[in-house]
Chain A
Amino acid sequence: MQQWVEQVMREWLLAFGYSFHFGVGSVGPIDTWVQLANSGWAYQWGPSDYVEIHVDSLDSSVRRAVERTIHAVIRHDHSQQPSETVEAWLREDAYRPTVELLREWELPQTEATFSQPQTIELSGGGDWQGQVPGYFVWIRFAASLRASDVSETVEEIIREFLRPEQLEWISGETPSILLYQSLHSLDMYDETFGSPTGGEADATEEETMSFRVLLQALVAALESDGSVLANVIVSELVRHPAWRRRAITSLTLVRRMAERRRAVLTTTGIAPFSDFIAEFTVAALPQAAKQACLAAATSRLPDAAFPLSEDMARTLEGMIAANLNISEAARKLYMHRNTLLHRMDRLYADTGFDIRRFDDAMALFVAHQLSIREEVPNSSQHRV
C-alpha cells in the first residue's frame, strides 16, 4: 500500500512538477473520500487504512486532475497496476501534452546512468530537501579527451569551483560528467563572481548570471590547467526534490537546442536552461496547437517554405539574438549590414513576416521553432 502510494506520487510529481504530501494512516474508516480543507483529500483504502493527500498547487486544473485520478483508482482499479492506471489516465487527451513533453525530455538510455532518486521523504524535510534549490550540470568534453588520462585532474579542477553533492562520469560518444550543485553549498560571496550564489530558495536572474560566470571560469580553468575543452549544460533550477528527474532529463533538450543554436550562431560554452525559454515554451505546446500555429504562420503566404533555409534561419536567429538591432545582428552573423537587409527583404517576400518588427519576428521565430522541432543535429564535437 505504502509502496503503491509512493509510486503514484512519483508519477504525479513527474507529470506535474508539484509536490503532493501523502499521509497514510489507519484512523478509522472513511466512507469514500472527502475533500479536506487546504485542497487536500482523504480516502479510504481497504478496511482500515486511509490516505490523505495534499496538493501544493494553486492550479485548479491540477487539483481537478488529482481528483479525477483518485476517483478512477477508487472506483475500479484496485487490481490494476497503479502506475498503469495513472499513465492511462495521463494519456487522455487533455493531459497528453505533459506526457509528450516528458517523453521528449527522456534521456537516451546510455546517458541515463545517473542514479535514480532512492526515496522520497513522505513527510518532507529529509536530507534531500535541504539541497534545493540547485542545478544539474552536465559537463561534456571534446571527443579527443581520453578520460583515464585526465579524469583526476578534471575532477580536481571542478571541485575548486563547485561543491557538487554528487558527481558521476557518464560514458557516451564523448566522456562527460553529471553533477548536482545546490546553491546553498556555494559560498561565493565575493566580488570576483558578483552577487552571492546561494541562500534564497528563489534564484533570481542575478544568481543565474553569477553561476554562469562561475562556470565560465571553470571552463577556462579546464582549458588552461586541464588542457581539455568542455561545454557545460545547465538544467532548470531544481526548486523541489521532486523535480530532480525532470531536471536531469531537461539537460538533453537543452543540449539539443544549444547545438542547433550553435549551428547558426556562435555562443559561449555555457548553455543554461534559462537561455532557451522560447524554445521550451514552443516544445511544450500541445500537438494540435503546434499544428494550428504553424498553419496560421503559413497562411500569411500560402506557399511559404517551412522549415526555413539555413540562411534564413540564421538571419532570423541572429536578429532575435541581437534584440532586432540590425547592426548588432550583422556583427553577430559576420555579415555585411546590406546583406542582412537584403536577406530580411527576401525573408519577407518568402514568408510574409517582416522581422524588423517585434511581433513578426516573434511569430516567425515560433513558427520556425515549430517547423524544426523534429530535427536533431548530430554534431557532437561542437561547443554548445
Chain B
Amino acid sequence: MLLRNVGNEKQQERARLNRMEIIDAKLSRRDLIRYGLLAAGGMLVAKSGLSIRASGAATLVSPRTTPWAEPLPIPQPLQPNTSFDLSKLSAGLNGDSSEAPRASHQLWDYYKPRKFYEIEEKQRTWSFHKDLPTQPIWNFQGDSDDSAHYAEPTLHARYGEPIVVRNKNNLPANHKGYGIPDTSTHLHNAHNASESDGNPSDYYGSGYYKDFHYCNKLANDDPNEALGFLWFHDHRLDYTAQNVYRGLVGTYILYDELDCNDETNVNGFRLPSGEYDVPLVFGDKVFNSNGIAYYDLFALDGIIGDKQTVNGKIQPFFDVKKRRYRLRLLNTGPSRFLSFKFSNNMPFWQISNDGNLLPKPIKRTSINLTVAERVDIIVDFNSATGSDVFLMNVLEHIDGTGPTGKILNPGTPLLKFNLGPTAADGSINPDQIDKLRGLPVMDTVINKTRTWIFNRQNGAWSVNGQLFNRNIVNAKCKLGTAEIWNFENGGGGWSHPIHMHYEEFRILSRNGVAVKPGDVEYARKDVIWLHPGEKVKVYVKFRDFTGKYPLHCHNVVHEDHAMMARYDIVDGPAS
C-alpha cells in the first residue's frame, strides 16, 4: 500500500534541504525570488497526470429575464446637508467615539469645505430586474431608507468648491455571506490626500464613520489638469471584489467653468448637459436559480457573469429624445472587459479618456472599456433612424484570463434606446469643436525610472515578484518630481487593467510605439489595459500631497489576491 520509492525519497530530501537552506541562510523573500527558489516550475516538469478538465466551479446560468422591461434608472445627485454647521469640522478628528481614525487633513486651511454631504453605507433592497426577486444589496445613499432609491448614486462637485463627505458605515455587523462589513471608500482618480483617498488598508467597521475631505483641487493648479468623471467604490483589502459586487459603487462628476453642466453657456464647452448628461454604470453579475446575485467565493482568476447591469438594471430601456447626449460610461467589473458599439453601427464622439476631456473629440464606432475605465461619449440620436437603437457589448470574455479578443456579431445588447421626438439641442456639434481640454506640459527632468511587472504567481498575483504587504513601501517618490514608470505584463496570457491611485499618468508608448496626438490614449489616464506581453511606458508627476497610495490590478479578484504595491509620496529623496 505504501508507494514509497526512490524518487519520492529524493523529493522528500529535496524539500528538507530547501527548508534547511531557507532557515540557515535567513533568506528574505526577495532573495528567494532572486535565487529562483520561488519560481514556478523550472526544476523538472513532472506531469502529475491530473485531469485537464476546466475548473470545478459549476457554470452557473442566470434565470431568464425579459429584456427591455424596465426603464434605465438615472442616478440623482446627492444633496448636501445645508443645516450642518461647517465650522464644527476641522483638520483633525472630531473627537467622538464613532469616528474612525485617520491622519489630519492636509491643506485644510487652504481648502476649507464649503459643502457637507452625508453618505450611509447600508444594506438596502434592490431589484435588478422585475423577473428576479427584490434582494439585499449594499450601497451608498444619502438617506437611511431601507430600499435603494437608485443603484448608483452620484455626487456633483465643482472645482473651487471643497467638500467633506461623511461616510457612515452602517452595514450589518453580523452579516452572513460574501462581503465583509468593513469599508474604505476610494474616490477613484481623485486628486485627494492619502487620508481621504480610501486606501485599502484604512478600513473601518460597522458603526463608525469617517470624514473624507475632497478638496476638488486642480493638480498643480493647472486648469488642464481638470478631472471630469470619477467613481467611488469600496476598497477594503482582500474583500474589494466581494464588496463592490454587493453594490458599493457610485459616481462623482466634477465640473469647472468650461465643463460647466450648461450647454447654453457660450463661455463653456457646450457639451450636452442636465438631463442629457447621463452616467451609464456597467456591472457584470450572475444570479443563482433563486434569482439572487451569486458570487463565486472560490474563484482566484476573475468573476465573469452572464448578466450585465446598467445603472443596476438588467437590459433596461431609455427613452431618449432625438438630439445629442453625453453618456458617461463606467465599467465596474469585477473582471469583465467590455467593447461597445451601437446596433446600427452609428458613429459617436469620444470626448474623454478615464473621465478627462480629450484635446479634441474623436469620432469612432466602437470603444473598449476595461474595468474601472471611464469614457464620455457624445451620441446624436437625431442621426439614428427607426424607433430604437441598442448599445451592444461585442467583446468575448469567458474567464478571468482576460478577453479572448474575438469580436462577437452581433454581441449582447445591454441597453435599448427608444427614440422619441426631436428636441431642442443647445449643445455644439462635436465636429465643430477644435479644442477641448489641452494636455499639461510634461517635465523634461525625470527624477527616477521604475519598472512594475505584473505577474501570476501560483494562483496568486504579484507585482515585481512581491506580494502586497501594507507595511512595505515599494517606491518612495519625491514630492514635486516626475518619474517614468514602465508597466510590464509578466506573461501567461493574462490581461490586467492596471490602476494607480491619486496621480494620473500619460502613456508615452506601448511596446515602444509612441502614443501620438489624435490617439485616444493621447490623454491623461489612471487605468491601463495591459494586454498579454505588453510593456507600457508612462510619465507621472507627484504633486500637492504626501502619503501612501496603492497601485494595483483592477481585475478586483487579482487585486484581492495580492496584485498590489504601495508607493509613498515623500518630502525627501526618492528610493
A complexed with B: no
